[in-house]
């Protein structure tokens, strides 16, 4: 459960800063207050509250599993001056030590391999220690995995 109290100067704070979710999918139920924004076409867009509907965000793990065919979603939560905002999120994540790799049919001559094999445990560790406020988490993570493998510190 996320709880965002009102703020007298909402332009000076964020409920949650810009990020992509490292998960496979995020299923979000937001209240009527709203406050979720997604970044597209070089600007922030508010996600309207639709009664009874869920917001589903594609995360970095799903992006890697589809070899970049589906993109993770840069988003943030903003606060307002008058009303408490609440949301409830469910995160779909793979097993910690399961090796993750895209399906063979998603990698071919026209669509080369974009990300190395990895485990959810490795991605989780990386995102907890290397916060990024942009869409480049998987690129940075891929470089980190390659460095760890070359130093024999990580086995996917």
Residues 11, 137, 26, 122, CA torsion sign: negative
- Which entry of 76, 85, 113, 132 is annotated as an active-site residue? 85
The reply to whether 113 belongs to the active site is no
Q: How many CA atoms lie within 13 A of 44 on its CB side?
A: 12
Measured torsion, CA atoms of residues 154, 143, 21, 117, in degrees rounded to the nearest 10: -50
Place of tokens 């560790």: 125
Outline where DSSP puts E strands in the chain: 2-4, 16-19, 25-30, 36-40, 43-46, 55-58, 75-77, 85-92, 99-100, 118-119
| Residues assigned a catalytic role | 85
């Amino acid at each position: 459960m996320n709880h965002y109290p009102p703020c007298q100067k909402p332009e000076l704070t964020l409920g949650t800063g810009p990020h992509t979710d490292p998960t496979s999918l995020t299923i979000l139920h937001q209240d009527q207050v709203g406050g979720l924004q997604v970044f597209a076409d070089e600007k922030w867009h508010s996600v309207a509250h639709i009664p009874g509907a869920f917001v589903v965000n594609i995360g970095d793990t799903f992006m890697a599993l589809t070899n970049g065919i589906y993109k993770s979603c840069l988003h943030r939560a903003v606060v307002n001056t008058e009303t408490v905002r609440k949301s409830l999120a469910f995160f779909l994540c793979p097993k910690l030590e399961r090796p993750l790799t895209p399906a063979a049919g998603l990698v071919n001559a026209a669509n080369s391999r974009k990300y190395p094999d990895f485990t959810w445990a490795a991605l989780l560790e990386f995102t907890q220690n290397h916060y990024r406020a942009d869409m480049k988490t998987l690129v940075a993570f891929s470089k980190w995995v390659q460095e760890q493998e070359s130093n024999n510190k990580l086995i996917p």
